[in-house]
A and B are shown apart, each in its own frame.
Chain A
Amino acid sequence: MREKATYLLALLAAVVMIGNLHTIFTQLPDEAMQGAVYRIIFVHVPAAINADIFFTIALVTAILFLATKKFIYDSVTVACVEVGAMLTLFNLVTGSIWGRNQWGIWWAWDLRMTGQLMCFLLYMGYLLVRPAISEPTQRATMSSIVAIFAYADIPLVLMAIRLPNVRTQHPGPVLETGGMAPAFRGPFAIGILAMFLISAALVLVRLHQETAQREIDSLRREVHAR
């Protein structure tokens, strides 16, 4: 049942993403200043928004694990962090390629971009901490604490382009200031939805694997106990 739901979600994600890419590449005009390359925004920003959504879910489930010690919350945390880290890498790489074209440089050490890189490294730290601890309860507790600590970087990244006295190379906010052309808003919103569906399907697969891994750990203990 769960496998079918995952496949259906993945199929829906593929249909929405392909339909949206068709709109982006065949129906939208080039942007006046950037030409064709602005189309990277339709995957670059949705990747960042969805990474933040999954890191927020990971924060909530990490707190819930510490409060209840139920391992299902730890499984959800690791699944969300892994997918969130992949989306952050997606965001960093696509942004860097766009920056090389528009600014002439691959990278700028400004607050927004450095904060996002820090975010990626902090969550990679979470993923590296887990295999280093073999006892399941201790592993889940320590990694939950790291997940909560890592989340502290997210508000910094979000605020980096909104703070009044901070100058960044990264473009300022366009959504809330009305800087995006009306024709781009629909594909942009669908881009966020498509990326969410893809990510949710990947989280479900990862969650299933984590459940199976717990079953393996339990069977190993059973075998050793006999």
Chain B
Amino acid sequence: MDITNLTFLFYGYSAGWIIITLFVLMLVARGRKIDGELARLKALVEDRER
């Protein structure tokens, strides 16, 4: 097996999975922010209803 080609194969797959992983991490961070904001607003509305 050509070692140069193997190196670039590694670069290609690594870059691809890094892009997907970063996207997933971005989604997780956004999800946490949204959940926190939703809980805060729901508590605020309930407080005002009392």
- With A216-B41, A219-B45 already in contact, the answer to whether A98 and B16 are too (CB < 8 A) is no
- Closest-by-CB residue of B relative to A205 is B27
Majority SS at the chain A contact face: helix
- Closest-by-CB residue of B relative to A39 is B9
- With A98-B8, A206-B27, A219-B42 already in contact, the answer to whether A43 and B16 are too (CB < 8 A) is yes
- Determine whether the beta carbon of A101 is less than 8 Å from that of B4: yes
Flag whether A34 is at the interface (Cβ < 8 A).
Answer: yes
Cross-interface CB contact of B1 among A35, A93, A220, cutoff 8 Å: A35
- Determine whether the beta carbon of A216 is less than 8 Å from that of B37: yes
- Determine whether the beta carbon of A47 is less than 8 Å from that of B34: no
For A93, the chain B residues whose CB sits under 8 A away are 15-16, 19
CB distance from A90 to the nearest CB of B (A): 5
- Determine whether the beta carbon of B1 is less than 8 Å from that of A30: yes
Cross-interface CB contact of A47 among B4, B16, B38, cutoff 8 Å: B16
A40 to B8, CA, bound (A): 9
- With A36-B5, A212-B35 already in contact, the answer to whether A89 and B19 are too (CB < 8 A) is yes
How many chain A residues have a CB neighbour from B under 8 Å? 34
- Determine whether the beta carbon of A94 is less than 8 Å from that of B9: no
A202 to B21, CA, bound (A): 11
Flag whether A209 is at the interface (Cβ < 8 A).
Answer: yes
Flag whether A213 is at the interface (Cβ < 8 A).
Answer: yes
- Determine whether the beta carbon of B11 is less than 8 Å from that of A97: yes
Among residues 183 to 226 in chain A, which have CB atoms less than 8 Å away from a CB atom of chain B? 198, 202, 205-206, 209, 212-213, 215-216, 219-220, 222-223, 226
A37 to B35, CA, bound (A): 43
CB distance from A151 to the nearest CB of B (A): 21
- Determine whether the beta carbon of A219 is less than 8 Å from that of B24: no
5 A-B pairs, CB-CB below 8 angstroms? A30-B2, A44-B16, A94-B16, A101-B8, A202-B27
6 shortest interchain CB distances as A-B pairs: A35-B2, A35-B5, A101-B8, A37-B5, A219-B41, A40-B12
B: residues with CB less than 8 A from A are 1-2, 4-6, 8-9, 11-13, 15-16, 19-20, 23-24, 27, 30-31, 34-35, 37-38, 41-42, 44-45, 48
